[in-house]
Structure 1
Amino acid sequence: MTISKLETLPQHDKIIRSLSPEPRPILRLQAMRSAEMAAMKRGSSVDDLMEKAGKVAASITRSFAGNMPALILCGPGNNGGDGYVIARYLEEWGIPVSVAAYSEPKTDAAKKARSLFSGKVTSLDEAQAAPLLIDALFGVGMSRSLDEDLLSKLKAFSKAASLRVAIDVPSGVDTDKGSLLSDIPAFDLTIAIGALKPAHRLEPASTLCGRVAVGDIGLTIQKPDLIEIPKPRLAAPTPADYKYSRGYVAITAGAMAGASLLSAVAAQRAGAGYVALLGGEAVSGPMALVHRSWSREALADERINALVIGPGLGRDELGVQRLSMALDTSHPLVLDADALFLLKREGLDCLRNIRQPTIITPHEGEFKRLFDGISGDKLTRVTKAAELSGLVVVLKGADTVIATPDGRAAISQPAVSWLANAGTGDVLSGICGAMLARGMDPFDAACAAVWLHGEAARLAGPGMIADDLIGHLRSAFVEVTVTA
């Protein structure tokens, strides 16, 4: 069924619901600089922004750590300037504060911030550890490793502290790539100034950031091309809806019946009104799951709103034939697992020739095989792959990244570690199919699916297997369903 034919199902529009209207932006370094410049054009100064940043960071820190005595490490730039402002507010609020400077302030705003702090500033060599460590050394924009002596001191202060807070990003992290420039310690809280940055959501930096809180400094951010995957809002079915108006998902079965069954049951639990397994050996499953033989007639059913192919497909000649037939349909597609393996044989041109709305969901190994000519950090690679293929690409992982051919991208919140389990990817492909079948565009569908997948895993808890993940989809779905 083509997207245009959705117009023949007026009820269908009532259950199409996109994402939360205001997903949180994630700003790369250049975008952050542009947002700050825009604020200054509207009348704010660097001093104003630093004052706001320091005050909100101090407030968040106090909420997090209470009146715990603090050691603030200040660098020479504006991140260090934020540190001096934080010190001033904490001191005003009666919290014991020590400030240690890596070097003298070098920017005018940082110099002013230091001059307004009435307390003593020592060198790092003279500093004494405190229960609360605040890293305001370098923040965003670093491109080199930390000096070994500085790194050693940072580790020592961190080890002695009970709580560790980083301002904007931990010093020693590449802001845009999420990579580590040095072997830095982990933090309990990172306060993102103005907006999230890629390093707050990309591994390995994300793990070292700990909890992340965004400190609002009044920036106006319009139409960001990179967002954090938000909690979706999905409309509940209306009294006028029926099984086909809620979305018909077809799952192509094959050599490994269990994988396709996981995908099919996940699509059911994710709200699809009708789910059919096409082909493959008959396997047990919910009574409402339809089993149909593989045929061109079954595949040509215009009521199908999404076709999932790959989980359990197999890599033999039969799998090749079924994939070829699926690509010849006009149904929106979800391609995963064996379908991605087989597509690699055909080359990138095969992906470019796909005309229907399509989501591909590779894990890191599948991505590298499929796009072996693309290098760089994760965000860059996924964005480039989407551009070259013309498809929505979902690179699964602890930091799942989704990208579109037109340059939009989204990063998930950190996934729970127990998602690294056989069959969980098959579950995700089924959820993607259900979201596509609702009539959502592929990017919104992928974002909603990744959020539901992650939330179901969180609800399932440690020790879960893919079956448990499906079992908790219902609870995750309840969280995002809204009534008219």
Structure 2
Amino acid sequence: MPKADQILTVTQMREAEQALIDAGSSVDALMQIAGRGAADWVWRMAAHRKVTVLCGPGNNGGDGYVIAETIRERGGQVSVVAATEPKTDAARNARALYGGEVLAPGAEVSGDVLVDCLFGSGLTRPLSQDLFDLLTGLAAHHHHCVAVDLPSGVQSDSGMLLNEGLPQYDLTIALGAWKFAHYLMPASAIVGALRLVPIGVAPVEGAATVLGAPRIAAPDADAHKYRRGLLAVVGGRMPGAALLAARAAQGGGAGYVKLFADSHDNAPADLVVETGPLSEVLTDDRNSAVLVGPGLGRDGEARERLAVALADPVAAVVDADALVLLTPRALAERAAPTIATPHEGELAALERAFELDGAGSRPERALALARASGMIVVAKGPDTVIAAPDGRLACAPRATSWLSTAGTGDVLAGVIASRVSNGIPAFEAACEGVWLHGEAARLCGAAFTAGQLAAKVPEALAAYL
């Protein structure tokens, strides 16, 4: 049974296609399925307006000839520009089946929709200057750009741009399975809307997945606050951040949120604040999770608070300052799950602490840290990745860029901690928290504060009950 949410590397995709061929299909048959499926999306976008298909030498170019022929058969206006002659048998066969004229690279062509079939997911080096000029020149003379599988000039597994100044695409049509570049920066910033054309690829063991919408259950009919989860939020030198996290946690489903802080200042009336010794209040055996890091500080007292928090034998979410203070020794005695939520700078600090070289793509780095530390790692940012020590990996769809404001990371930590306090397994809780955080941001619209984001969490959660 095909699996629609998996993300495949270039190697995994080639092996998956070969498995289909070994099972009785052929490259030509798969090209027809992929090209005609992609043509459906191009047809919808073009709405009978003029389409130009730029075809490269390989099988991505072959897909382009199939797209062009499908549009021509339907009575659409389509032109094909061949960057070079086809160099694979399947591409040559697809070109032979195209019933229209094939234009040379120097032809003056303009229109409404440019379809980029120059190169697909296997590209590993920059486009040559002549091909780059051809692509960007055609893009400048069309109102819309569509990429087939990936924009040309993008490295599939890392999401890196092999050329600077690539076009901005309105739509990218993935063929067979998602690729990492659809979800990783900087490529994800240029791909536009994403659509998938299935070709029958079977589930691949160990493949990453695209983060999907959660299914959240309402509390049981006989629920009470402790059964829904008691979350302990550990404050520090900067109380505002812990307050933000606690407010977000209240909206994320926890039945009871307690903030352990030095004072009750600025706390809302419905938030319980404990000001006693941290070592005493965290011995409450009703705790189901603990959150430490937002506003913690980095001094000796902060280190002590982190140690006490991690000594609580419940699931822990570690964020912000606590990530900079965290060491392998601090986790050595923990048996309960730990979720770390680092941004790029904190991710680098953790890699140093766990003696990792920080090499590789963002997913590879997150997985390496998860395996070395035993933590669930939420590598947050414009391309958020969630990794587990057992190799599970999820990439989040790109959220609104308005999230790039102070305090939104504290909100994310609070939502994740709230979900894990409900008894949701740590990896799933991290995934749910990331999704709800993005949905709350969408509900906020533009130019919101972290406080406004926290206030939208209950609405975001209600949408998935």
TM-score (norm 2): 0.96
Post-superposition CA distance 1:212-241 (Å, at most 9, x none): 111112222245531111110010112111
Farther off after superposition, 126-135 or 392-401: 126-135
Partner letter of residue 15 of structure 2?
S
Correspondence for 1:434: 418
Correspondence for 1:479: 463
Partner letter of residue 123 of structure 2?
M
- Maintained 8 Å contact 1:242/1:273: yes
Displacement of 1:317 in angstroms is 1.5
Correspondence for 2:133: 152
2:344 aligned residue (364, 374, 383): 364
Matching of residue 126 in structure 1 with residue 110 in structure 2? no
Correspondence for 1:87: 68
2:215 aligned residue (233, 240, 245): 233
- Maintained 8 Å contact 2:246/2:259: yes
Post-superposition CA distance 1:311-335 (Å, at most 9, x none): 1112121111111112222111000
Correspondence for 1:380: 364
Partner letter of residue 400 of structure 2?
V
Distance in 2 separating the partners of 1:127 and 1:52:
31
User: The residue matched to 1:382 in structure 2 has which SS?
Assistant: helix
Partner letter of residue 291 of structure 1?
V
- Maintained 8 Å contact 2:206/2:391: no
Gaps of 5+ in 1: 1-21
Distance in 2 separating the partners of 1:338 and 1:40:
52
- Maintained 8 Å contact 2:278/2:305: no
Correspondence for 2:121: 140
User: The residue matched to 2:225 in structure 1 has which SS?
Assistant: coil
Distance in 1 separating the partners of 2:42 and 2:334:
50
Matching of residue 69 in structure 1 with residue 50 in structure 2? yes
Correspondence for 2:250: 268
Displacement of 1:42 in angstroms is 2.3
Partner letter of residue 292 of structure 2?
I
User: The residue matched to 1:162 in structure 2 has which SS?
Assistant: strand
Displacement of 1:337 in angstroms is 0.8
Displacement of 1:378 in angstroms is 1.3
- Maintained 8 Å contact 2:351/2:369: yes
Displacement of 1:389 in angstroms is 1.1
Distance in 2 separating the partners of 1:353 and 1:41:
49
Identical positions, percent: 45
Farther off after superposition, 366-375 or 432-441: 366-375
Displacement of 1:426 in angstroms is 0.6
Correspondence for 1:107: 88
User: The residue matched to 1:480 in structure 2 has which SS?
Assistant: coil
1:303 aligned residue (286, 300, 305): 286
Correspondence for 1:37: 18
Correspondence for 1:420: 404
Number of equivalenced pairs: 457
- Maintained 8 Å contact 1:100/1:127: no
CA RMSD after TM alignment: 1.4
- Maintained 8 Å contact 1:432/1:449: yes
Distance in 1 separating the partners of 2:191 and 2:329:
40
User: The residue matched to 2:226 in structure 1 has which SS?
Assistant: coil
User: The residue matched to 2:190 in structure 1 has which SS?
Assistant: helix
Partner letter of residue 195 of structure 1?
A
2:173 aligned residue (191, 196, 201): 191
- Maintained 8 Å contact 2:324/2:346: yes
- Maintained 8 Å contact 2:310/2:330: no
User: The residue matched to 2:138 in structure 1 has which SS?
Assistant: helix
- Maintained 8 Å contact 1:250/1:278: yes
User: The residue matched to 1:227 in structure 2 has which SS?
Assistant: strand
- Maintained 8 Å contact 1:331/1:356: yes
Partner letter of residue 251 of structure 2?
R
Partner letter of residue 27 of structure 1?
L
Correspondence for 1:161: 142
Distance in 1 separating the partners of 2:70 and 2:421:
53
Distance in 1 separating the partners of 2:48 and 2:206:
37
User: The residue matched to 1:267 in structure 2 has which SS?
Assistant: helix
Displacement of 1:360 in angstroms is 0.3
Displacement of 1:411 in angstroms is 0.9
Gaps of 5+ in 2: none
Partner letter of residue 462 of structure 2?
V
Correspondence for 2:305: 322
Correspondence for 2:226: 244
Correspondence for 2:321: 338
Question: Any runs of at least 4 consecutive aligned residues in structure 1 with deviations exceeding 4 A, and if so which?
Answer: none
- Maintained 8 Å contact 1:352/1:389: no
User: The residue matched to 2:35 in structure 1 has which SS?
Assistant: helix
User: The residue matched to 1:472 in structure 2 has which SS?
Assistant: helix
Distance in 1 separating the partners of 2:213 and 2:34:
27
Displacement of 1:354 in angstroms is 3.6
Partner letter of residue 355 of structure 1?
A
User: The residue matched to 2:463 in structure 1 has which SS?
Assistant: helix
Farther off after superposition, 126-135 or 239-248: 126-135
Displacement of 1:352 in angstroms is 5.4
Displacement of 1:58 in angstroms is 0.2
Farther off after superposition, 417-426 or 291-300: 291-300
